Amino acid sequence: MSKRERIYMKVVKGALVPADPCAESKLRSRGYKIGQIVSAEIVIPRNPKFNRLVHQLGQLVVQNIEAFEGLDAHTAIKRLQIEGKIFCDEIGISVPGYGMVIQFIPKSLSFESCDEAEFHQAARDISRLIAGRYWPDLTPEAIENMANCMVEE
């Protein structure tokens, strides 16, 4: 299945309108006509700063937690997602002589793959996991604040 290009819209009273001249041009070029019915998936695009936040959470654990030494930030986040079953798909795998095993596959946290709400929930859950399992003296909020400071550097 090919990925569809997103056209950004702005909410106005009772309607969605093109967010900017570029979006308006894209709509025109596709031949949409006034009064025509179309379907759309509505998501709130993410703030790029928060995209960096999860990357910095990964950097934070790589730089400060021995269990993550040698990993890159992306791999650290994927490992945390699996450990905490955070924003993962579950697949049942039949293992001969053992039975059914559940495999957790981390979903992408990329800018285009999840919306703002899903992303923030995943970031909060990852911070909770880090606090609970690796840094019990810190709160999830303190861990997020440390990562936020790294974003602004």
d(CA 79, CA 4): 29
What does the pLDDT average to over 34-42? Answer: 82
Residue 90 tokens, joined: 């579950």
Q: Where are the domains of the chain?
A: 1-42, 48-152
Alpha-carbon distances, residue 56 vs 43, 93, 131 (angstroms): 24, 33, 15
pLDDT at 2 over 50: no
Provide the percentage of residues in the chain whose pLDDT is more than 90.
50
HSE (side-chain half, CA atoms, 13 Å) at 35: 0
Whole-number pLDDT of residue 151: 58
3-class state of residue 16 by DSSP = strand
Give the residue among 79, 70, 81, 93 at the shortest CA–CA distance from 125: 81
What does the pLDDT average to over 20-26? Answer: 87
Model pTM score: 0.72
- Which residue has better confidence, 47 or 87? 87
**In which region does residue 139 sit, left (phi positive, over 0), alpha (psi from -120 to 50) or beta (all else)?**
beta
CA dihedral angle for residue 73, residue 118, residue 132, residue 88, rounded to 10 degrees: -70
